[in-house]
Amino acid sequence: MNISDVLSSHASSLNKSSTSGAKASSAVAGNSNPLQRAGSRLQAQIDSTSAQLSSFGRLKSSVSDTQLAAKALAGLPSTASDVELKAAVAKLAAAYNASLGAARTTADKAGMTSEARGALNVGMDLRRAIKTDTATADAMRGMGFVLKSDGTVTVDDKKLDAALKANPAKVRAAMSKVGGQINTVATKELAKDGTMAGSLDSLTRRAGTLQTQATAMSKVMAYMANQA
pLDDT in tens, 5-59: 545 555 555 455 444 444 544 444 445 577 778 777 877 777 777 777 778 888 9
Kindly report which listed range (19-28, 102-111, 183-192) carries the lowest average pLDDT score.
Answer: 19-28
Of the candidates 97, 106, 113, the residue with the CA atom closest to the CA atom of residue 60:
106
Cα–Cα distance measured from residue 153 to residue 143, given in angstroms and rounded to the nearest whole number: 12
- Residue 146's beta-bridge partner residues? 154
Of the candidates 154, 146, 159, 161, the residue with the CA atom closest to the CA atom of residue 94:
154
Cα–Cα distance measured from residue 208 to residue 54, given in angstroms and rounded to the nearest whole number: 15
The structure's pTM equals 0.73
- Domain coverage including residue 141: 3-227
Q: What is the pLDDT confidence band of residue 171, given thresholds at 50, 70 and 90?
A: very high
Cα–Cα distance measured from residue 76 to residue 7, given in angstroms and rounded to the nearest whole number: 60
Task: Indicate the length of the chain as a whole number.
Answer: 228
**For residues 53 and 200, is the Cβ–Cβ distance under 8 A?**
yes
Written as one letter, the residue type at 204 is T
pLDDT, mean over the chain = 80
Task: State the pLDDT at residue 4.
Answer: 54
Written as one letter, the residue type at 136 is T
Total domain count for the chain? 1
Q: pLDDT tens digits, residue range 60-87?
A: 999 999 999 999 999 999 899 999 999 9
